[in-house]
């Protein structure tokens, strides 16, 4: 039975890199009909941030990376929070002390390194042996004077007791792995298999950080990214679809996943790719689905019940759910006009042109029809010595207060004839 775990330390809202590791755990567990476990490694009390516990649950839930065992769902190998397992570590540390494999110094308990020989494991990523000379390792602390274990010790004891079969984690832990293997050996336990995922790097090839657009996973949600595109994007970090596909579901990844397709080379985190993917997913959605997603996302938007007719107009134009708001706000509330928007149009007599526009709109037979609208304002443009695009831009800014909107006539249809007339009249009065 495959059992894998994600073991984040609750030191802040989980980084997108934690979600990335969790995805690989989840996929590997599903692929093998195994179990995915969440364990909180909260033994570093100075860095402990209580709110981050909920944020870890929330991140995994949002992405649909449901765990079979964990602090808030239970399981037969709990507790799944390390600070609730202190007795277990103490007992195991004492076992090593009694066997003479650990010793006390200045208040802490240290593991004694057997300096002769080498420590080797076969890493699933890259399908290769990794070897460390034991003499490069120093005796290390396993139990601190405050009674808390160190990461190295608690991690091994828990992976063993929780029957973890595969440890899938970031590359930065490679240097800890020989220590872990030495602890397994000291206890006479069979170690799990290890898979160290490649390093994530940003656009300048340096280690991924905030300035590359890599934020906490939940920030991606609040910025309007869809969980489907985030998962798809994360799956492409370090793994490639055997047919080279770029857009695919997590179910497809589960079907195809094999560690042999995980690259050892650094994975390049390209935020523009995520934006592109998100736009692809938005366009693939039905209007009904997208409306629902937008309504969830715009939970506190005053007009969220009225957005359905607007959705088809913006579907091609938004990359993130959050793009919906600036693009469509004018449909739900009066715009704030800014003369600078009109200056950009390079029209000499804005006020007179607006007056003519208002006249034509008032005279146009109701309900307004797109062909009549087009023809009327092309003619008016000619009459006023404007290009057609200047004319339509002027109408656009007059009804919306902005230069970029969904298609003009459709927007006006949604806005309604009365509201459109009101806005143009108001603007003239304001001028």
Query: Does the active-site annotation cover 210?
Result: yes
Q: Which of 7, 102, 183, 290 binds ligand GLU (CB under 6 A)?
A: 7
Give the tokens for residue 372. Answer: 């009549």
Q: Kindly indicate which of the ranges 4-12, 71-79, 333-341, 395-403 contains the residues binding ligand GLU, using the contact rule CB under 6 A.
A: 4-12
241 and 256 Cβ atoms separated by less than 8 Å:
yes
Number of residues that bind ligand GLU (CB under 6 A): 8
Per CB under 6 A, the segment of 6-14, 57-65, 109-117, 283-291 that binds ligand GLU is 6-14
173 binds ligand GLU (CB under 6 A): yes
Q: Say how many C-beta atoms besides its own lie within 10 A of residue 11's C-beta.
A: 15
Minimum distance from CB of 11 to ligand GLU (Å)?
8
User: For 359, what's the count of Cα atoms within 13 Å in the CB-facing half-sphere?
Assistant: 7
Task: Look up residue 158 and give its two tokens.
Answer: 């828990």
**Residue range at the interface with ligand GLU (CB under 6 A); choices 2-10, 186-194, 285-293, 368-376:** 2-10
In the structure, how many helices (H) and strands (E) does the chain have? Answer: 18, 11
**How far is CA 27 from each of CA 138, 160, 259, 347, 412, rounded to the nearest angstrom?**
36, 21, 11, 58, 47
Nearer to ligand GLU, 149 or 202 (CB): 149
The active-site residue, picked from 104, 128, 207, 210, is 210
Q: How far, in Å, CA of 411 to CA of 59, rounded?
A: 36
Measured from the CB atom, is 40 or 294 closer to ligand GLU?
40
Which lies closer to ligand GLU via its Cβ, residue 173 or residue 332? 173
Please state the length of the chain. 431
| Contacts with ligand GLU, 128-167, as mask; x by CB under 6 A | -----------------------x---x------------
Residue number with CB closer to ligand GLU (110 or 169): 169
Name the minimum Å distance from CB 198 to ligand GLU.
15
| Contact (Cβ atoms closer than 8 angstroms) between residue 142 and residue 149 | yes
Query: Looking at 5-13, 101-109, 141-149, 227-235, which segment touches ligand GLU (CB under 6 A)?
Result: 5-13
CB of 41 to ligand GLU, least distance (A): 4
151 versus 268: smaller Cβ distance to ligand GLU: 151
The CA distance from 328 to 324, in Å, is: 6
Q: How far is the CB of 120 from ligand GLU (least distance, A)?
A: 19
Least Å distance, CB 43 to ligand GLU, is 9
Helix, strand, coil shares, percent, the chain, to 5: 50, 15, 35
Degrees to nearest 5, angle at CA 17 with 296 and 121:
145
CB 154 within 8 A of CB 80: no
Residues 71-90 that bind ligand GLU (CB under 6 A): none
The distance of closest approach from Cβ of residue 180 to ligand GLU in the complex, given in angstroms and rounded to an integer, is 8
Per DSSP, the three-state class of 396 is helix
Query: What's the DSSP call for residue 336?
Result: P
Q: Compare residues 41 and 228 and give the one whose CB is closer to ligand GLU.
A: 41
**What's the min distance (Å) between Cβ of 179 and ligand GLU?**
11
Task: For ligand GLU, give the closer residue by CB, 162 or 307.
Answer: 162
Pairing of strands 200-201, 267-268: parallel
Q: How far is the CB of 167 from ligand GLU (least distance, A)?
A: 6
How many Cβ atoms from other residues are within 10 Å of residue 232's Cβ?
A: 26
For 169, the enclosing helix (H) or strand (E) is: strand 166-170
- Of 352-411, binders to ligand GLU (CB under 6 A) are none
Q: Alpha-carbon distance 57 to 38, whole Å?
A: 9
41 contributes a contact to ligand GLU by CB under 6 A: yes
Query: Is the Cβ of residue 9 or residue 411 nearer to ligand GLU in the bound state?
Result: 9
* Residue-wise DSSP of 260-311: GGB-SSPEE--HHHHHHHHHHHHHHS-HHHHHHHHHHHTTT-TTGGG-GGGH
- Residues tagged active-site: 210
Binding stretches for ligand GLU (CB under 6 A): 7-9, 41, 151, 155, 169, 173
């Amino acid at each position: 039975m495959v059992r894998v775990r994600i073991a984040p330390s609750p030191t802040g809202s989980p980084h997108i890199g934690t979600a990335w590791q969790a995805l690989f755990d989840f996929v590997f567990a599903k692929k093998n009909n195994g179990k995915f476990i969440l364990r909180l490694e909260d033994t570093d009390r100075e860095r402990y941030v209580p709110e981050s516990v909920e944020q870890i649950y929330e991140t995994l839930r949002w992405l649909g990376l449901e765990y079979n065992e964990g602090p808030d769902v239970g399981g037969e190998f709990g507790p799944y929070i390390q600070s609730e397992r202190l007795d277990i570590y103490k007992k195991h540390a004492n076992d090593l002390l009694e066997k003479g494999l650990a010793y006390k110094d200045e208040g802490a308990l240290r593991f004694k390194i057997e300096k002769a020989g080498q420590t080797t494991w076969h890493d699933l990523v890259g399908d290769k042996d990794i070897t460390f000379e034991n003499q490069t390792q120093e005796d290390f602390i396993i139990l601190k004077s405050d009674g808390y274990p160190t990461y190295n010790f608690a991690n091994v004891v828990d992976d063993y007791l929780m029957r973890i079969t595969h440890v899938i984690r970031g590359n930065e832990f490679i240097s800890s792995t020989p220590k872990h293997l030495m602890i397994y050996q000291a206890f006479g336990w069979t170690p799990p298999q290890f898979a160290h995922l490649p390093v994530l790097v940003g656009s300048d090839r340096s280690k991924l950080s905030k300035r590359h657009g890599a934020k906490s996973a939940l920030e991606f949600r609040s910025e309007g990214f869809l969980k489907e595109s985030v998962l798809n994007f994360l799956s492409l970090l370090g793994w490639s679809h055997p047919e080279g596909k770029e857009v695919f579901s997590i179910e497809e990844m589960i079907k195809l996943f094999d560690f042999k397709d995980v690259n050892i080379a650094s994975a390049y985190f390209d935020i523009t790719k995520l934006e592109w993917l998100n736009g692809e997913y938005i366009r693939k959605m039905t209007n009904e689905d997208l409306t629902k997603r937008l309504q969830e996302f715009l939970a506190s938007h005053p007009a969220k019940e009225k957005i359905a007719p607007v959705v088809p107009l913006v579907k091609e134009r938004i990359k993130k759910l959050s793009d919906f708001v600036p693009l469509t706000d004018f449909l739900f509330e009066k715009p704030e006009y800014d003369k600078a928007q009109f200056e950009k149009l390079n029209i000499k007599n804005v006020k007179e042109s607006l007056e003519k526009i208002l006249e034509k709109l008032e005279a146009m037979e109701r309900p307004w029809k797109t062909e009549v609208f087009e023809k009327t304002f092309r003619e008016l443009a000619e009459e006023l010595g404007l290009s057609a695009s200047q004319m339509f831009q002027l109408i656009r800014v007059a009804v919306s207060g902005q230069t970029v909107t969904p298609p003009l006539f459709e927007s006006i249809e949604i806005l309604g004839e009365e509201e459109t007339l009101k806005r143009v009249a108001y603007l003239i009065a304001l001028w």
